[in-house]
Amino acid sequence: MAVKKKKRIGRDDTLVSAEILGLAVKNILKRTKLDRTWDIPYLAGYSNDFKKIFIDRHLPKYLETSYGKYDVDPFLILHESVEKALLDELGLHYQHAHQIALRAEEAAVRAAGIKWKDYDNFMQTYIKSAGHENLKKIPPDLDIKPYHDEKDTKILREMQKIVRKEISK
């Protein structure tokens, strides 16, 4: 039986690598579960205990461009994981954690060979429609700290109403 050699990260490990980012996402998903069955304001979020990462049920799983078709979940999983870790472990304010997570997401998108403008336009289209969508299904364990920090009282009120309704069923 041949012994499988572990792949060593070489001297280019300081460059953004799609392979290394892919491994990071795989490891994140060993600790959390991806759930695409809910309405999530701003497209993605996480549970309070970070056992789940939520991606809005209406967001298409793939971005199609003239140069390829790409699964968007890994980029959102990376973003939400970085953001949640910075909030919980380092106590950063949401906007600071979000900006750092967005840069990690952008680096992963570019490393995958996707033009950031194409990816961002795709996401913005669905963020707008999600923002105007009637929220119907909100996970009761969705971490609402980002919405509090952003003082998004309209969405908070709407989410609380939906969760109360779900719990009383």
Domain spans in the chain, listed from the N-terminal domain onward: 15-168
- The pTM of the full predicted model, rounded to 2 decimals, is 0.85
| Higher local confidence (pLDDT), 148 or 92 | 92
**What is the average per-residue pLDDT within 99-121?**
95
Give the model's pLDDT for residue 73.
Answer: 96
| Higher local confidence (pLDDT), 168 or 80 | 80
C-alpha gyration radius of the chain:
17
CB of 149 within 8 A of CB of 95?
Answer: yes
Q: Which of 79, 80, 60 is nearest to 70 (CA)?
A: 60
Give the model's pLDDT for residue 110.
Answer: 92
Count Cβ atoms within 10 A of the Cβ of residue 35 and give its class: 0-12 exposed, 13-18 middle, 19 or more buried. Answer: middle
Token pair, residue 54, equals 């939520």
Give the H/E segment covering residue 61.
Answer: none
Length of the chain: 169
DSSP-based helix, strand, coil % in the chain, nearest 5: 55, 10, 35
Other Cβ atoms less than 10 A from the Cβ of 133: the count is 13
pLDDT tens profile 4-30: 555 555 555 556 788 888 888 889 989
Give the model's pLDDT for residue 156.
Answer: 80
Query: Which residues 6+ apart lie within 8 Å of 71 measured at CB?
Result: 61, 62
**Mean pLDDT across the chain:** 87
Give the model's pLDDT for residue 135.
Answer: 80
Across 26-35, 76-85, 113-122, 143-152, least confident range: 143-152
Count Cβ atoms within 10 A of the Cβ of residue 78 and give its class: 0-12 exposed, 13-18 middle, 19 or more buried. Answer: buried
